[in-house]
Structure 1
Amino acid sequence: MKNLKNKFSLSVLSLILISFLSCSDKLDIKAGQVNTSDVDYSDTDQMIQPLIGAYNAFATRGWEEYLLMAVRGDDVNAGGDQVPLQDTDNYIYSPDNWMYNSLWNLHYADIVSVNNAASLIENYKELADPSDYDRADQYIAETKVLRAWLHFNLSRLWGSIFIINTAIPDNEIEAGVATKDEVMQYISDLMDEAMPYLPDMRPNERQDVPGGVTKYTALALKAMANQELKNYQGVADAAGAIIASGKFSLFPDFYEEFKKPGELSDENLLEMQYSDYNSGTGDTFYHLYAPFGPAKYTPARANAEGGWGFYEPSLKYIKFMLDRNETVRLETSVLFTNQGIAEIQSDPNYATLPSFISNTTRDGDVIEDNVRTLFSSGKHYLPSIQLTAGRNNYGAGKNNICIRYAEILLMYAEALTHGATGSAMTADQAVNAVRQRAGLLPISGVTTQDVLNEKFAELGLEWGIRYFDLIRLGDYNELSYDGRTFSADKAMLPYPQAQVDALPLEN
């Protein structure tokens, strides 16, 4: 453990009250505030409320968080006028970057909120009838999975971070930060601890909290943590258990997987849920998708709003997909402007493009030329015709998928190419299952590079997966593109200056 002098206490975050939410088919009823001193812990019918609050904290993400996690990959460019994001995309890091401090604070605040939810559930359990013990243990286990996901993001960005297991973490901060390997092992062990208490089903099979985490969400996070540790047998074991369960399958339509039809599909292992409750007025619980959207477009449905143009698929990614003869995955992942199409065609090797490449999506939205981006992310696009009548925000009500079964298949396949063993299926079978949905021919004798290429095509623009794969494998040359120069010392972000000032490192 690296020691940090404690001048700032996260205990103030314990004052953040868990949102008190009524149960519904969504996890996102408008939040009020609960005064924990007024809670009747003997009323175990209300024990689910802190859990719903934990899910609310998990899904309440600042727009900058996703962009910051993903923008350094060679699949994404920063667009628009956000200099802190553009500098980060070019591996120019400033500890004063407001986005760094925001993500750090928001993630840790939500870790404390999730831990506080677990404490409240413990209070219910103390007064509960023994028949409610299993339910309490399940709810607490669910908070551990949410906590693990938040720690996972922080450690991939900064490496050494605080591990926070309580709602008043003064002592945990005093103990200092754990190394990245320690954090990933903590996550793996925490998922082992949680799994026996979690439902043995897909998230979309749950009746109490539809879309809530299950045993398989925990297995997915265990696989992801072990992948960061390069414990490929651990990856194969955890991912293989998901595959062998037979419970998950790829959503048949790749395009619609990222839109309303794909919400809570059999492919999704972890998903942030948003809604306007199918009403054109009243309460909403949205993620702000405008940063992903085109700065100018003509929607098929009148009055639908455009975006800000902060997140752009890279030309490198588009040409990679064209070289592979990708169709539905390229159409799904990239929204094209006419300027962007002309830019592609300015390269004689790409003078003739497939007919599906157009500035008009299959749902009739026209992506207009603008000064901010040549392309926009199709994976964060909701067709205007899928918006609820009366709702006009870009992407309004669209869910945000965090972990898909496709990623599990490809992690499993990669682990096998690194020498791990697994009986769930072969590496060829796992890769070809993903390729088949994409309309590509099967391949045989897959190598690690084959799997990485498949990951690039399948998971591009999602959560920085591409960047973190390249960092894990030390494939830095791929990150030196379009005038950028990457080196190993750029792998991690610097600690936010506000945190360094509060918690100075001691040599």
Structure 2
Amino acid sequence: MKNFKQLSKQLGFILALCMLVFSCSEKLQENDGQLAADDLDFTLTENMILPLIGAYSEVYSRGWEDPLLLGVRGDDVNAGGLGDQPLFAETDLFNYDNGFWMFNQVWENFYGDIVDILNSGETIERYKAFATGNDIALADQYIAETKVLSGFQHLQMSRLWGDIFIITSSNVTADIERGVATKQEVMQYVSDLMDEAMPFLPDMRPNERQDVVGGVTKYTALTVKALANLEMENYQGVANATGEIIASGKFSLYSDFYQLFKKPGELSNESLFELQFSDYNSDTGAVNNHLYAPFGPSNWTPAVSTASGGWGFYEPSLKYIKFMLDRNEVTRLQTSVIFTPRGIAEVMSDPNYATLPGFISNTTPDGDRFNDYPRAMFASGKHYLPSVQLTPGRNSYGSSKNFIVFRYAEILLMHAEALTQGASSSAMSADDAVNLVRTRAGLSTLSGVTNQQVMDEKFAELAMEWGVRYYDMIRLDRYDELSYDGRTFTADKELLPYPQAQLDLLPLQNN
């Protein structure tokens, strides 16, 4: 690990972090209020679920900027072209300004969550000291869940910045003193952390849990482990982790790809982890929502006239749309991309696409019409909730829609990718894994799949989801794919620069 250059800045960082997440006073999140750990009666072990719920709350309450920054640099996604966030558009063009507020906000979002999650685990440890009987095992399970949540956050941060601090305790002093770890060290830490957690986690799907419905399980941890090993290019490790998920027989693809990303598909047997939100099926009162407005259109005619629109910050790329048209995709294209009249005209301006399939329309299957608006020509259908699925009286774009993070289709395709990179597995062949995904999409099966075919399948299946495409392409040094529509991508653009606000506090070396 890299050593400190300016140890005197350590205190400033710690104080800033404490002010951000309230960790110095050992506070934990409980619903909408703060509960001081020193005020808890740790002999009441039935209450140890409360800090666990607090940890989930931190993860679920993602800033809207997090998934946008993680995904915008891929060739599947474009930033909205006009508006009040020009540096977001520049990031999409690989022109990085480390003074951009979004870089620093996402850094603080993830590290703030990590410290709160670790604090929750430490609070559960204090309950465990008084636990007896089955409550001891339950405490171990809850602590293991916080490890998975922490690992997920470290994984995403290292994807963005590469070398980062590994935070192992809510008292961050020792972790900061060790300096930043390399990306390889971070991913190995995440993989090892999942191994620590798995023996204590429920052996079931997230939707089978009754205590914390949709909470992480052994298979969520295996997914995080597989992704960490994918980043390390340890393809046998990927095959082992994904193979164990497949061999469990517990997961299957949701039959309706369109509805998978809408309310009917929430917590399906395909889900390994999703951020959960709710308006409690009531038109008034408390609501826990993700802010989907950045994904929404600024001009539309919804089937439910009171439904609100959005900002148009995140659009499928023209390259992706033409790729899908060339493959004769119907189900996945209609689900993933929402068209405007201007977007349809732009596609058709290319003589090779002058005649489009009949299903291409600016009206969705649920009757919402997307009109022209300045920032974008297309919208992400995976982040769209039909207005007819809104709870009456709740009009925010995507209100109460869950946010899928990991799903079984990605497991199958990672498994196939690992096998085409030389790994072995008895759980499932690469052909079978790819063909399960293709069959749901209404495509013919393949035989003897190559790595290129697997990566094409990942492009088609996982576009707009958590930057999967971008991180695949930089891992494989496929810079030609990222150099599209006038962009030029080079190796020095793989990672974001450290935020200037953090450089002013921390002994970081800019990358």
Smaller-chain TM-score range? Answer: over 0.9
Quick one: which amino acid aligns to residue 373 of structure 1?
A
Partner SS state of residue 34, structure 1: strand
Q: What's the counterpart of residue 94 of structure 2?
A: 91
Compare 314-323 and 81-90 and name the one that shifted more: 81-90
Quick one: which amino acid aligns to residue 168 of structure 1?
N
CA–CA distance in structure 1, aligned partners of residues 126 and 485 of structure 2: 55
Q: What's the counterpart of residue 137 of structure 1?
A: 140
CA–CA distance in structure 2, aligned partners of residues 271 and 18 of structure 1: 22
1:101 correspondence with 2:99: no
CA–CA distance in structure 1, aligned partners of residues 102 and 197 of structure 2: 32
Partner SS state of residue 253, structure 2: coil
Q: What's the counterpart of residue 392 of structure 1?
A: 395
CA–CA distance in structure 2, aligned partners of residues 503 and 384 of structure 1: 45
Q: How far is 1:38 from its partner?
A: 1.2
Q: What's the counterpart of residue 67 of structure 2?
A: 66
Partner SS state of residue 307, structure 1: coil
Select 1:236's aligned residue among 228, 235, 239. 239
Q: What's the counterpart of residue 196 of structure 1?
A: 199
1:260 correspondence with 2:263: yes
For the Cα contact (< 8 Å) 2:324–2:333, is it kept in 1? Answer: yes
Compare 12-21 and 147-156 and name the one that shifted more: 12-21
For the Cα contact (< 8 Å) 1:3–1:505, is it kept in 2? Answer: no
Quick one: which amino acid aligns to residue 311 of structure 2?
W
Q: How far is 1:131 from its partner?
A: 2.8
CA–CA distance in structure 2, aligned partners of residues 55 and 153 of structure 1: 16
For the structure 1 residues 9 and 325, does the alpha-carbon distance in structure 2 shift closer, same or farther, using more than 3 Å as the test? same
Q: What's the counterpart of residue 2 of structure 1?
A: 2
Runs of 4 or more, structure 1, over 6 Å off, are none
1:272 correspondence with 2:275: yes
CA–CA distance in structure 2, aligned partners of residues 419 and 481 of structure 1: 30
1:363 correspondence with 2:366: yes
Q: How far is 1:33 from its partner?
A: 1.0
CA–CA distance in structure 2, aligned partners of residues 390 and 20 of structure 1: 27
Number of residues of Structure 1 aligned to a counterpart in Structure 2: 498
For the Cα contact (< 8 Å) 2:412–2:434, is it kept in 1? Answer: yes
The 5 Å alignment of 1:47-446 reads 47-79=48-80, 80-81=82-83, 82-446=85-449
For the Cα contact (< 8 Å) 1:3–1:506, is it kept in 2? Answer: no
CA–CA distance in structure 2, aligned partners of residues 256 and 125 of structure 1: 42
Q: How far is 1:129 from its partner?
A: 1.5
Quick one: which amino acid aligns to residue 65 of structure 1?
D
Partner SS state of residue 78, structure 2: strand
For the structure 1 residues 366 and 3, does the alpha-carbon distance in structure 2 shift closer, same or farther, using more than 3 Å as the test? same
TM-score if structure 2 supplies the norm length? 0.96
CA–CA distance in structure 2, aligned partners of residues 20 and 339 of structure 1: 46
1:366-409 deviation digits (Å, cap 9, x = unpaired): 00011111000000000000000000000001000100100000
TM-score if structure 1 supplies the norm length? 0.97
CA–CA distance in structure 1, aligned partners of residues 431 and 509 of structure 2: 49
1:46-96 deviation digits (Å, cap 9, x = unpaired): 110000000000011111111011000000000042112101000000110
CA–CA distance in structure 2, aligned partners of residues 361 and 17 of structure 1: 45
Q: How far is 1:130 from its partner?
A: 3.4
1:290-326 deviation digits (Å, cap 9, x = unpaired): 0001111001012000110000110000000000000
Q: How far is 1:506 from its partner?
A: 6.8
Compare 34-43 and 263-272 and name the one that shifted more: 34-43
CA–CA distance in structure 2, aligned partners of residues 506 and 417 of structure 1: 36
1:468-495 deviation digits (Å, cap 9, x = unpaired): 0000000000000101110000000000
For the Cα contact (< 8 Å) 2:13–2:506, is it kept in 1? Answer: no
CA–CA distance in structure 1, aligned partners of residues 507 and 256 of structure 2: 50
Q: How far is 1:504 from its partner?
A: 2.9
1:216-263 deviation digits (Å, cap 9, x = unpaired): 000001100000000000000000000000000000000000000010
Quick one: which amino acid aligns to residue 70 of structure 2?
M
Partner SS state of residue 396, structure 2: coil
For the structure 1 residues 505 and 150, does the alpha-carbon distance in structure 2 shift closer, same or farther, using more than 3 Å as the test? closer
Partner SS state of residue 502, structure 1: coil
1:490 correspondence with 2:500: no
1:33 correspondence with 2:46: no
Identity %: 64
CA–CA distance in structure 2, aligned partners of residues 216 and 37 of structure 1: 34
Q: How far is 1:210 from its partner?
A: 0.5
1:414-434 deviation digits (Å, cap 9, x = unpaired): 000000000111000000000
For the Cα contact (< 8 Å) 1:9–1:170, is it kept in 2? Answer: no
Task: Please provide the CA RMSD for this pair.
Answer: 1.1
Quick one: which amino acid aligns to residue 120 of structure 1?
T
1:319-373 deviation digits (Å, cap 9, x = unpaired): 0000000001000001100110011000111011111110000000000011111
Quick one: which amino acid aligns to residue 66 of structure 1?
P
Quick one: which amino acid aligns to residue 456 of structure 2?
N
CA–CA distance in structure 2, aligned partners of residues 380 and 165 of structure 1: 33
Quick one: which amino acid aligns to residue 283 of structure 1?
A
Q: How far is 1:168 from its partner?
A: 1.0
Any stretches of 5+ residues in structure 1 without a counterpart?
A: 22-30
1:78-125 deviation digits (Å, cap 9, x = unpaired): 004211210100000011011000000010000000000001100100
For the Cα contact (< 8 Å) 2:180–2:508, is it kept in 1? Answer: no
Q: How far is 1:165 from its partner?
A: 1.0
Q: How far is 1:2 from its partner?
A: 1.2
CA–CA distance in structure 2, aligned partners of residues 298 and 170 of structure 1: 53
CA–CA distance in structure 2, aligned partners of residues 278 and 493 of structure 1: 40
Quick one: which amino acid aligns to residue 46 of structure 1?
N
CA–CA distance in structure 1, aligned partners of residues 60 and 210 of structure 2: 19
